[in-house]
Structure 1
Amino acid sequence: MPREQHATAPVILDPNTAGYISLSDCLTKMEFCDDGPELPENPERFHRSECVLGSEGFNSGTHCWDVVVDLCIGPWSVGLKAESSSRDGPDSNWQGFWGIHYVGYMDDSACEHGKYQARSPGASPIPLKVNQRPRRIRVQLDWDRGELSITDLENNTRLYTFTHAFTERMFPCFMADCCTLRIVSWRIVGKGQDLTWTLCPSSL
């Protein structure tokens, strides 16, 4: 019997939330941009942070997306942001945020402790031991179980797992300061066991 196929809706970026970020036409690639045209002052936009959210938030179920980070030497963050959290102010990117942060500007041969951090609301940054710079990060959310896992796919290494009883809609969140991030979209085949990958064009 043919295996049942389940297609997932790809994570795409919401241009109405982008602050100091240029987006590709396919809305899956972001690049730091501080000299673009003046943007509307809509309430959902990050006004003083290099952040952008996914277009769809989640308040149930299991969701997964991959982010290519190998073009980054500057700081970047990937994870989740709570719908009700602030997007105004220089530190708004950390409010209601669960995820991994790379402090940036690290030599390839110097993956020492502290360059990668686990960040969550109300907690001090947790330094992570990373032996090799990640190239592709997987973010996996199980909203109902209150679990957010972030994995280095190239090295098959779990970077960190957050546990939290989520009570509101959570949005994929990305920060790119002087660097470029790219989301990889995919579909699940056979009840989540096998993955087929589709890359967005690399040019903005």
Structure 2
Amino acid sequence: MGRQFCASASKGVTVETFPCFSPGAMDAVELARRLQEEATCSICLDYFIDPVMTACGHNFCRNCILMSWEKGKVKKGKKKKGCFPCPECREMNPQRNLRPNRLLIKVAEMARQHLGLQKRDLCQTHQEPLKLFCQDDQSPICVVCREAQEQRVHSVKPVDEAAREYKTKLEEDIKYLREEVTKTETLQAKGEETLTQWQEKVKERRERILEEFQKVVLFLVEEERRLLQVLKKEEEDTVGRLQDSKAFLDSQSSSLDLLLLQLEEHSQQGPLQMLQDVKDTLARRESLCVKYPEMALPVAIKTVCRVPGQIEVLKSFQEDVVPDPSSAYPYLLLYESRQRRYLSPPPEGSTPQSKDRFVAYPCAVGQKSFSSGRHYWEVGMNLTGDGLWALGVCRDNVSRKDRVPKSPENGFWVVQLSKGKKHLSLLPDSTPITLTEPPSHMGIFLDFQAGEVSFYSVNDGCHLHSFSQTAFPGPLLPFFCLGTPKSGQMVISTVTMWVKG
């Protein structure tokens, strides 16, 4: 059979006599068949690979024509040296005179792609175009399939209409998956932040445990190791749970990203291609199970910093601290139990305004200041309301007339004790640490040379908080601050303080 493709002579037929490239002369199926024929090598009967043209104008794969001529060498008979017959027309051609046909390379590739699509667009049973979509079977069918006995009772729609409906469903699923990806990414970020914060808190607690043991060098090293091991176990358990949650979210994020990518690619295909596997595609979305593990930061570290016998050691530095009545807030009552008398009775009709008296808060300071050495004292608390108390030390020259935040920058090294959930405006914008479950008996230890103030629960010996700095700027005084009237009492040595109601 003779064939010719455009300007490249192929098997002896001219362009003018070849009708296959007239789109109106045949239907799409016939056009595809002719295109396949023109893109096929007559030797290997497959699509051209590296096509070349002989001198007589026929096209073959380069390897095919060379192998054909190689076989011809062993045959007997007279042949012109260096010339071999064309497998198509038998005309003698110089072996070296082969020209690459680049245009035919593109035609062969077009034929491969067109025929692959054409095959998918046709019913495999009847070779008819797939123009309908069976909603019962969830698959495209042709008009011949529609007339089959089992298909007559099925619900059928045109392909384009069904594609629009399912495209809408796919878009809804894509939107849902994008939202789930966003939620997962948010949880991932929270999980990483939680892990970082938790490890930072563990780091601070570890440092505090080490420092507390350094203060009391006479205590057993085994107890120090035991506490560190307990903290390490707590850290490992908590970090392990957080890391497991993070790993789960990472895996879930990857799965969601992959499914989202597949759905997006599927939704961008043509109607028929989109509907080929639409049932499996939608089933993957419906079977998706998205979970969100909790990633909340623990409220507090369970491992406490408790050095056995530390309170007893600190009591060797105990001072007889007594509040100074001349510094007390006018309505702050001080009752001395030994002498059974009020040290600072409330004013009757007028309020003393001496330079030493606190007038902004219900506060008082100790009679004795400290500018060196180590000192320890204890304060008992009987808290009855939702008030806010403060204990610690302050500079001897702090403002007693103005309301200022009780922070180291303003000369206060104190902890706040809050029994209730409300914070009084008594100490606005204050920065001291607040204990939501204050002990009934507080110990305060001042190491002036070390620049450190530490707070302890006397009942169980737990360390509560410490302030550390290079050096204190001057003499310090014990500081006491109560809440509102009827909110409780403080007991310092033999003196009981409360606010008059």
TM-score for both structures, normalised by structure 2:
0.30
> Does residue 1:171 correspond to 2:484, yes or no?
no
Looking at structure 2, the residues matched to 124 and 155 of structure 1 have their Cα atoms a distance apart, in angstroms, of: 26
Unaligned runs of at least 5 residues, structure 2? 1-315
Q: Which amino acid aligns with 1:134?
A: P
Among candidates 380, 385, 391, match of residue 78 of structure 1:
391
2:392/2:479 contact within 8 Å kept = yes
In our comparison, the structure showing a higher alpha carbon Rg is: 2
Looking at structure 1, the residues matched to 394 and 497 of structure 2 have their Cα atoms a distance apart, in angstroms, of: 27
2:490/2:496 contact within 8 Å kept = no
Q: Which amino acid aligns with 1:61?
A: G
> Does residue 1:46 correspond to 2:351, yes or no?
no
Looking at structure 2, the residues matched to 90 and 202 of structure 1 have their Cα atoms a distance apart, in angstroms, of: 24
Compute the displacement of 1:145 (Å).
1.1
> Does residue 1:15 correspond to 2:351, yes or no?
no
Q: Which amino acid aligns with 1:10?
A: D
Where do 1:57-96 residues align within 5 Å? Answer: 57-73=369-385, 74-91=387-404, 95-96=410-411
Looking at structure 2, the residues matched to 177 and 92 of structure 1 have their Cα atoms a distance apart, in angstroms, of: 15
Distance of aligned partners of 1:17 and 1:59 in 2 relative to their CA distance in 1, 3 Å threshold:
same
Distance of aligned partners of 1:180 and 1:57 in 2 relative to their CA distance in 1, 3 Å threshold:
same
More off after superposition, 155-164 vs 95-104: 95-104
Compute the displacement of 1:79 (Å).
0.1
Deviations 1:160-202 (A, max 9, x none): 0111211200000000113210013xxxxxxxxxxxxxxx377
Distance of aligned partners of 1:45 and 1:69 in 2 relative to their CA distance in 1, 3 Å threshold:
same
Looking at structure 2, the residues matched to 182 and 15 of structure 1 have their Cα atoms a distance apart, in angstroms, of: 14
2:364/2:479 contact within 8 Å kept = yes
Q: Indicate the SS of the match to 1:10.
A: coil
TM-score for both structures, normalised by structure 1:
0.68
Looking at structure 2, the residues matched to 93 and 123 of structure 1 have their Cα atoms a distance apart, in angstroms, of: 5
Show the counterpart of 1:3.
none
Show the counterpart of 2:455.
150
Distance of aligned partners of 1:183 and 1:125 in 2 relative to their CA distance in 1, 3 Å threshold:
closer
Among candidates 76, 85, 97, match of residue 412 of structure 2:
97
Distance of aligned partners of 1:102 and 1:201 in 2 relative to their CA distance in 1, 3 Å threshold:
closer
Compute the displacement of 1:91 (Å).
3.0
User: Greater relative contact order (Cα 8 A, min sep 6): structure 1 or 2?
Assistant: 1
Distance of aligned partners of 1:72 and 1:79 in 2 relative to their CA distance in 1, 3 Å threshold:
farther
Compute the displacement of 1:96 (Å).
1.4
Looking at structure 2, the residues matched to 143 and 72 of structure 1 have their Cα atoms a distance apart, in angstroms, of: 33
Compute the displacement of 1:126 (Å).
4.0
1:57/1:171 contact within 8 Å kept = yes
RMSD: 3.6
Compute the displacement of 1:203 (Å).
9.6
1:48/1:89 contact within 8 Å kept = yes
Compute the displacement of 1:124 (Å).
3.6
Q: Indicate the SS of the match to 1:16.
A: helix
More helix as a share of residues = 2
1:63/1:140 contact within 8 Å kept = yes
Compute the displacement of 1:10 (Å).
0.7
Compute the displacement of 1:80 (Å).
0.3
Identity rate of aligned residues, in percent? 25
Compute the displacement of 1:148 (Å).
0.6
1:81/1:173 contact within 8 Å kept = yes
Distance of aligned partners of 1:7 and 1:134 in 2 relative to their CA distance in 1, 3 Å threshold:
closer
Deviations 1:37-90 (A, max 9, x none): 334211111012110000011000111100001335321111001012111123
1:86/1:92 contact within 8 Å kept = no
1:142/1:148 contact within 8 Å kept = yes
Show the counterpart of 1:139.
444
Looking at structure 2, the residues matched to 166 and 183 of structure 1 have their Cα atoms a distance apart, in angstroms, of: 24
Distance of aligned partners of 1:137 and 1:72 in 2 relative to their CA distance in 1, 3 Å threshold:
farther
Looking at structure 2, the residues matched to 88 and 172 of structure 1 have their Cα atoms a distance apart, in angstroms, of: 18
Q: Which amino acid aligns with 1:45?
A: R
Show the counterpart of 1:183.
492
Distance of aligned partners of 1:9 and 1:150 in 2 relative to their CA distance in 1, 3 Å threshold:
closer
1:87/1:93 contact within 8 Å kept = no
Distance of aligned partners of 1:69 and 1:90 in 2 relative to their CA distance in 1, 3 Å threshold:
same
Looking at structure 1, the residues matched to 462 and 328 of structure 2 have their Cα atoms a distance apart, in angstroms, of: 30
Show the counterpart of 1:197.
none
